[in-house]
């Protein structure tokens, strides 16, 4: 069943895309596309917006590769696993020495999601964020987030917090299924 | 270490202590929530706070140098060394008590973090930018619950009012400042929290009134958290929080 996704192209995403396209390290970016979110294993860290930047600098032991990531939520327990997975990819590509830096500013927002990530969320059964975080009405609505399974808008919020901090829980009145909504942050 | 660095280190530690202690308290609801969704929500809020503590402690460890890590701050200090405001360490009580405390703290945090986003210290400003977005979600929920419980049944109203009365005396400390925080506020790094009370009181009073609850009189206050004088509850909390690390120092998960 196909459900149309609201096309949202945010400035945060545009900036990220420009950084990647203008980067001299496109091979490493491509390599790290293999690292997926441990909680939503169809989405890469790049598409999720967690992967911020890649730089290389000279170092006493050769070239140092610096990968910058930003956590989604402060307490997201997946961040440590993401670091391990990035390290694994860098090890396999023999890109030692490397450093994985956590970057807090600018804070991650759902505007960092790529358009592809929104489609992937939907296909995975998670309703993507409905608006940009710059939108005045960016809070989770009580009703009407389209069901990712049957596309009905006859849905209602059950809880502001779902299976993880980044999601709220909804129930579809049409098909009866509960589903997660990826909150605007 | 310069005086300013030492003061910033102490300040980051204090804010980390507030977040860790409250995060641990809320985490006690995990598997004890009144129903599944609420259990998940509280656990998620607890995680936000613990994540916040990690950010403040990681920054403090960076300032301290000497190979310190966030774990040294969380696990190897005794109760007397913790600098959290007392309201964060009080036992979780019943569900009404937990939600009233969240409301009082959430309204405060929103005002405080808003100011901290303007900090001249880039790390503190970045943490505030991150935390404030989560706090907005926390406040929406705690407000809804206080309205529902206060304006609910006779029993829920009674318990919610009892919680407001029991917690009120601990809110004054939120707006007190000492010489260290004053000095940081003067150079634009820290927040001058003394000026936040009118806005806090106006917002909290409006919510309590709508919930048919009475705003208590300001006739008692408890203080001491920022100098390390705690209620007996903090020691009990740390006993549980630090047990594993104390029993097996340096243990890796």
Q: What is the mean pLDDT of residues B140-153?
A: 97
Q: What is the pLDDT of residues A125-151, one digit of tens each?
A: 999 998 877 776 678 889 999 999 999
Q: What is the pLDDT of residues B197-207, one digit of tens each?
A: 999 999 999 99
- Could you tell me which chain A residue has the CA closest to the CA of B52? A74
B38 and A158 within 8 Å at the Cβ level: the answer is no
Instruction: Give me the number of domains chain B comprises.
Output: 1
A160 and B47 within 8 Å at the Cβ level: the answer is no
Q: Is the per-residue pLDDT at B62 higher than 60?
A: yes
CB-based burial, B83-97: b 16+ in 10 Å, e otherwise = bbbbbbbbebbebbb
Going by pLDDT thresholds of 50, 70 and 90, the confidence category of residue A115 is very high
Domain ranges of chain A: 11-110, 125-182
Indicate which of B35, B40, B122 best probes the interface with A, i.e. most A CBs within 10 Å of its own CB: B40
Q: What is the mean pLDDT of residues A91-114?
A: 92
The alpha-carbon gap from B130 to the nearest alpha carbon of chain A, in Å, equals 5
Q: Is B253 within a domain?
A: no
A185 and B133 within 8 Å at the Cβ level: the answer is yes
A169 and B131 within 8 Å at the Cβ level: the answer is no
pLDDT at B83: 98
Q: Which residues of A touch B123 (CB under 8 A)?
A: 104
Nearest to A105 among B40, B48, B126 (CB): B126
Q: What is the CATH number of the domain that holds B64?
A: 1.20.1260.10
Going by pLDDT thresholds of 50, 70 and 90, the confidence category of residue A3 is low
- Could you tell me which chain A residue has the CA closest to the CA of B58? A102
User: Tell me, what DSSP letter sits at residue A36?
Assistant: B
Range of the domain at B43: 3-247
CATH, domain range A11-110: 3.30.300.130
Contact (CB, 8 A) for B14 and B226: yes
Q: Is B128 within a domain?
A: yes
Nearest to A169 among B37, B45, B131 (CB): B37
Q: B61 CB near a chain A CB, below 8 Å? A: no
Q: Which residues of A touch B137 (CB under 8 A)?
A: 139, 160-161, 183
Q: Is the per-residue pLDDT at A73 higher than 60?
A: yes
Going by pLDDT thresholds of 50, 70 and 90, the confidence category of residue A164 is confident
pLDDT at B243: 96
Q: What is the mean pLDDT of residues A15-36?
A: 95
- Spatial neighbors of A70 by CB under 8 A, at least 6 apart, are A49, A50, A52, A102, A103, A104, A106, A107, A108
Place of tokens 């707006």: B175
Going by pLDDT thresholds of 50, 70 and 90, the confidence category of residue A27 is very high
Cα A99 to Cα A8, A57, A102, B87: the distances in Å are: 33, 11, 10, 39
Q: Which residues of B touch A183 (CB under 8 A)?
A: 137
User: Tell me, what DSSP letter sits at residue A89?
Assistant: H
Indicate which of A80, A161, A163 best probes the interface with B, i.e. most B CBs within 10 Å of its own CB: A161
CATH 2.60.40 fits A125-182, yes or no: no
CB-based burial, A139-159: b 16+ in 10 Å, e otherwise = ebeeeebbbbbbeeeebebeb
Q: Is the per-residue pLDDT at A5 higher than 60?
A: no
Q: B101 CB near a chain A CB, below 8 Å? A: no
- Spatial neighbors of B200 by CB under 8 A, at least 6 apart, are B107, B108, B111, B174, B175
Q: Is the per-residue pLDDT at A44 higher than 80?
A: yes
pLDDT at A6: 57
The alpha-carbon gap from B204 to the nearest alpha carbon of chain A, in Å, equals 21
Q: Is the per-residue pLDDT at B43 higher than 60?
A: yes
Q: Which residues of A touch B23 (CB under 8 A)?
A: 75
- 3-state SS string for chain B: CCHHHHHHHHHHHHHHHHHHHHHHHHHCCCCCCCCHHHHHHHHHHHHHHHHHHHHHHHHHHHHHCCCCCHHHHHHCCCHHHCCCCHHHCCCCCCHHHHHHHHHHHHHHHHHHHHHHCCCCCHHHHHHHHHHHHHHHHHHHHHHHHHHHHHCCCHHHHHHHHHHHHHHHCCCHHHHCCCHHHHHHHHCCCCCCHHHHHHHHHHHHHHHHHHCCCCCCCCCCCCCCHHHCCCCHHHHHHHHHHHHHHHHCCCCCC
B44 and A165 within 8 Å at the Cβ level: the answer is yes
**A76: helix, strand or coil:** coil
Cα A108 to Cα A73, A160, B50: the distances in Å are: 8, 20, 18
Tell me the average pLDDT of chain B.
96
More confident residue, A165 or B59: B59
Q: What is the pLDDT of residues B204-219, one digit of tens each?
A: 999 999 999 999 999 9
A160 and B41 within 8 Å at the Cβ level: the answer is yes
Q: Is the per-residue pLDDT at B236 higher than 50?
A: yes
pLDDT at A1: 44
Q: Is B36 within a domain?
A: yes
Q: Is the per-residue pLDDT at A177 higher than 50?
A: yes
């Amino acid at each position: 069943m196909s459900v149309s996704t609201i096309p949202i192209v945010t400035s945060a995403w545009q900036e990220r895309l420009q950084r990647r396209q203008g980067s001299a390290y496109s091979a490493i970016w491509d390599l790290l596309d293999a690292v997926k979110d441990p909680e939503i294993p169809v989405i890469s860290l790049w598409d999720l917006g967690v992967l911020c930047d890649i730089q290389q600098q000279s170092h006493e032991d050769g070239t140092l590769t610096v990968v910058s990531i930003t956590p989604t939520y402060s307490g997201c327990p997946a961040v440590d696993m993401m670091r391990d997975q990035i390290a694994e990819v860098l090890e396999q590509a023999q890109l030692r020495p490397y450093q994985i830096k956590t970057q807090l500013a600018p804070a991650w927002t759902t505007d960092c999601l790529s358009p592809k990530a929104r489609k992937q969320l939907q296909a995975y059964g998670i309703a993507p964020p409905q608006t940009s975080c710059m939108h005045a009405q960016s809070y989770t609505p009580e009703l009407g987030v389209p069901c990712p399974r049957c596309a009905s808008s006859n849905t209602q919020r059950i809880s502001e917090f779902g299976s993880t901090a980044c999601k709220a829980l909804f129930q579809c009145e049409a098909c009866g299924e509960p589903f997660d909504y990826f909150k605007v942050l | 270490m310069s005086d300013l660095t030492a003061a910033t280190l102490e300040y980051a530690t204090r804010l980390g202590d507030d977040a860790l202690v409250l995060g641990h308290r809320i985490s006690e609801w995990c598997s004890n929530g009144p129903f599944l969704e609420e259990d998940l929500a509280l656990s998620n809020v607890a995680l936000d706070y613990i994540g916040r503590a990690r950010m403040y402690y990681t920054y403090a460890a960076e300032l301290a140098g000497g190979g310190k890590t966030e774990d040294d701050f969380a696990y190897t200090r005794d109760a007397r060394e913790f600098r959290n405001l007392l309201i964060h360490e009080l036992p979780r009580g019943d569900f009404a008590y937990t939600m009233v405390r969240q409301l009082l703290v959430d309204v405060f945090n929103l005002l405080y973090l808003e100011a901290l986003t303007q900090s001249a210290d880039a790390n503190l400003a970045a943490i505030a930018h991150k935390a404030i977005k989560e706090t907005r979600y926390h406040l929406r929920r705690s407000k809804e619950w206080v309205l529902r419980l206060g304006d609910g049944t006779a029993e829920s109203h009674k318990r919610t009012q009892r919680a407001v009365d029991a917690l009120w005396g601990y809110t004054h400390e939120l707006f007190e400042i000492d010489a260290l925080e004053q000095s940081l506020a003067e150079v634009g790094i820290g927040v001058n929290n003394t000026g936040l009370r009118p806005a806090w009181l106006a917002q909290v009073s409006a919510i309590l009134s709508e919930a048919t609850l009475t705003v208590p009189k300001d006739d008692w206050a408890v203080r001491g958290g920022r100098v390390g004088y705690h209620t007996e509850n903090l020691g009990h909390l740390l006993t549980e929080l630090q047990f594993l690390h104390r029993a097996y120092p340096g243990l890796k998960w």
